[in-house]
Structure 1
Amino acid sequence: MNNPVSLTQFLIEEQRAHGSLNADLRLLLEVVARACKRISIAVSKGALGGVLGEAGTGNIQGEAQKKLDVLSNEILLQANAWGGHLAAMASEEMDHPSLIPGEYPTGGYLLLFDPLDGSSNIDVNISVGTIFSVLRVKEGVEPTCEESFLQPGTQQVAAGYAVYGPSTLLVLTLGTGVHVFTLDRELGSFTLTQRDVRIPEDTQEFSINASNRRHWEAPMTRYIDECIAGKTGPRGKDFNMRWVASMVADVHRILTRGGVFMYPLDAKTAAQGGKLRLMYEANPMSFIIEQAGGKSSTGRERIMAIQPEALHQRVPVIMGSRNEVERVVSYHQDN
C-alpha cells in the first residue's frame, strides 16, 4: 500500500467523522488490539512457548480449558484494567464480571469477550481467534453487576474479532461498516487492508457440523438436503460445505467470499437454548455480519433483537449471505 493507514490513524479519522467515537472508545479499541497482538504472539509460538495442551481447569460452561484459553483471558484482563475507559469486563471463561481494580479509574464502557474462540483447534494448528463486544454502561444500573451487561445486541457501540492464522487480522465495526486490518509483524502495528467489506447476497457455500444431522429440526434438515441435492434438486445448483469448528475462521471466510454459517437449535442443545453464547459470540458476530450487508437470525428471530436474560445465555445461530439466511428463516416459519 502506497499510503498505509494504521489502526490508530483510522480511529482518529473515524472520531473526526463520527461523533459517536470518542477518545475513551478509541483508547479501548487500541488496547484490545494490543492485547490481540500479544495473543497472536503466544499462539504463533505453539509448542515452543509451552502453551499447548489442557490447563486442567474448566470454565462456567463446564468445558475443559486449554492453556491458551487461560493465558488469552489474562492478557485481555490485564491490558484493559488500568486505562480508565472501562467500568467492568465479562468473559466467556469467567463465572461473573471482572471489576476494575480499585487503584484505577473507571469509565463508561463495558467489554465482553471470548478470549480464544475455537481453542479445540489449537493443538492441531488451525486458525483460532478472539471475539469482543463493547457496550455503554446503562444509566441507573450498577455497572459492575451482571444486569448492566444484559443489553440487546442493537446496543453495541463496537464489535470485532481477531483471526490468528497465516496472517493475523483484526476485523472491526463501529456501526459504520466493516473494516479489516492486517498485523504488520515488522512494524508491530495493524494496518488497514480492506474498507467497507460487503458479503455477497447469494452463495453456493454453507458451513455446518453435519455430524449433528440426526439431531436437527425439520427446517434445517430440509435446507441442507436441498443444498446437497445440487443441480438435480429444487435449488438447481451445486453447493459446497466448509466446516472449521472455529467460529472466527468460519465466519471470516463467509465475510470474505459469502456463505452461510449455521449452528442451529437441535435435540442436543435444546435444553440450554442453543450452542453458541449470545453475549460473547452471537451478538458481536451478528453486528459485523449485518454491517457488511448480511443477515443473522436464530431461525425464529433476529439475534441482535434478543433481550439477554443471563450473562452466559446460549442461542442458535444462522448468519451470512442475506438471501440464504432468509431462506432458512422462511423454512422455520413454515414449520
Structure 2
Amino acid sequence: MKRLIPILKQDKVDTDLILLIRTILAASKEIAFRVSQGELAGILGSTLDENIQGEIQKKLDVVANQLLKDMLLDDDNVAAIASEEEPDVVPGHQHGKYIVAFDPLDGSSNIDVNGQIGTIFTIYPVRPDVPFNCERQFAQPGHQQVCAGYVLYGPSSLLVMSTGGPTRCYTLDLTHGGYLLTRSEMQIPTDSKEFAVNMANYRYWADPVRGYFNQLLSHPNFANSTLRWNAAMVGDIHRVLSRGGMFVYPEDSRVGNENGKIRLLYEANPLAMLVEGAGGIATASGQRILSIHPDSLHQRVPVAMGSASQVAVLNQYLHDRAFDESTTHSTN
C-alpha cells in the first residue's frame, strides 16, 4: 500500500500545500487517539458553554478545536483559519499562502454514545486583494478549494481527501502512524435505494419537500428505499461515497433553520468537492453548492448530495412542485 505523501507528489500537489496537509493530519492523529481513549481521557460530556452556532459544546469539541488551532497557527503557510467553534477569523501569518476552515468534530452528539464522528477541513489559496486576517478571505466559492477532506473516527480512522482530482480514501496505520492509500478512486453509484435524512424534522419542512418524501416512502417507483441516518453528516456522506445513496438536510420553518443547518464553509463545500470528485452531485435548492458565493463566515445552506440520479430526481420534483404552486397562486 502506498503512503499519503508519495500520492500527493504523484498528483503534483504544491510542496507547501503538502506540508500544510501534514499539519492537519498530525492534529487528526492526536484527535483519533483522544477519541479512542474516550472516558479514560476525561473528554466525554458537555461543557457549560455554547459555541457561535448556539450549540452546547462537548469537551472533545473544545479539545479538537484547540489542537487544530494550535497546530495550524504554528504553520507558516497558514494566513488565517476559520472554525465552526470560533465566532471570527483567527489570524495566522501575514505571508501565508493558504487559509484553512474546519469543523473540528462533526457529529459531536454521538461522542458520549461511541457513535460516528469526524473532522472536516478545507483549504483555499489566500486572496491577495484583501488583508490576510479579514473575513473576506473566506468569501470564495467552493470550486476554488485546493484541498478538501475529512477524517472519520471509527473502528479504523479513515481519511477521505481530494486535491482537485479523484476522491481518495486512506486508512490510518496505527503501527507506523501514517495514512495508507486503501481506495485510489472512490466512485458513487449513479443510483441507489438508500437515503439519509432526519425524518423527525418532517413536520417543519416545506410542502414540496414533504411531498417528495411522501412519494419516496409510498410510491411503487421508490419501492425498497431504505433510510440510513447517523446524526453525523461526515458518517452519512462516507456511506454515500462508499456505496451510493443521497444525503438531504433541507431548510425548515424553525427559527435559525430557514436556510437549513449545514454550514457552507465548514461542511457543505468540502463534502461537495469530495462528492463531485467521486462522480456525484451536490446541490442547495437545485444550485450547485461549489458555485455559491458565500456572504458570511457561518452561512448555512440546504443540502442534497450523493448519487446523481437520486439528487436529480429530488431537484426536479422540488422544482416542478414549486412551479405548480406558484402557478396556482398566480391564477387565484
Runs of 5+ in structure 2 lacking a partner? 323-332
Deviations 1:78-134 (A, max 9, x none): 11122211101000000111112xxx6742100000000000100000010000011
Counterpart residue identity of residue 261, structure 2: K
Asked if 2 retains the 8 angstrom alpha-carbon contact of 1:279 and 1:313, the reply is yes
Instruction: Provide the residue aligned with 1:180 in structure 2.
Output: 169
Aligned positions of 1:1-335 closer than 5 A: 4-15=1-12, 21-100=13-92, 106-229=95-218, 233-268=219-254, 272-334=258-320, 335=322
Provide the secondary structure at the position in 1 that maps to 2:221. coil
Aligned sequence identity (%): 44
Instruction: Provide the residue aligned with 2:325 in structure 1.
Output: none
What TM-score results when the alignment is normalised by the length of structure 2? 0.94
Q: Please, what is the CA RMSD of the aligned residues?
A: 1.3
Which runs of 4 or more aligned residues in structure 1 lie more than 4 Å from their structure 2 counterparts after TM superposition? 269-272
Separation in 2, partners of 1:245, 1:120: 8
Asked if 1 retains the 8 angstrom alpha-carbon contact of 2:103 and 2:267, the reply is yes
Counterpart residue identity of residue 183, structure 2: Q
Provide the secondary structure at the position in 1 that maps to 2:186. coil
Instruction: Provide the residue aligned with 1:18 in structure 2.
Output: none
Provide the secondary structure at the position in 2 that maps to 1:284. helix
Runs of 5+ in structure 1 lacking a partner? 16-20
Counterpart residue identity of residue 164, structure 1: Y
Deviation at 1:272, TM superposition (A): 4.4
Asked if 2 retains the 8 angstrom alpha-carbon contact of 1:299 and 1:328, the reply is no
Provide the secondary structure at the position in 1 that maps to 2:137. helix
Asked if 2 retains the 8 angstrom alpha-carbon contact of 1:219 and 1:332, the reply is yes
Q: Taking structure 1 as reference, are residues 269 and 153 closer, same or farther at Cα in structure 2, changes over 3 Å only?
A: farther
Deviations 1:286-334 (A, max 9, x none): 0100110000111231111111000000111110000000011111211
Q: How many residues align?
A: 321
Provide the secondary structure at the position in 1 that maps to 2:159. strand
Deviation at 1:32, TM superposition (A): 0.8
Separation in 2, partners of 1:51, 1:119: 12
Separation in 1, partners of 2:299, 2:94: 30
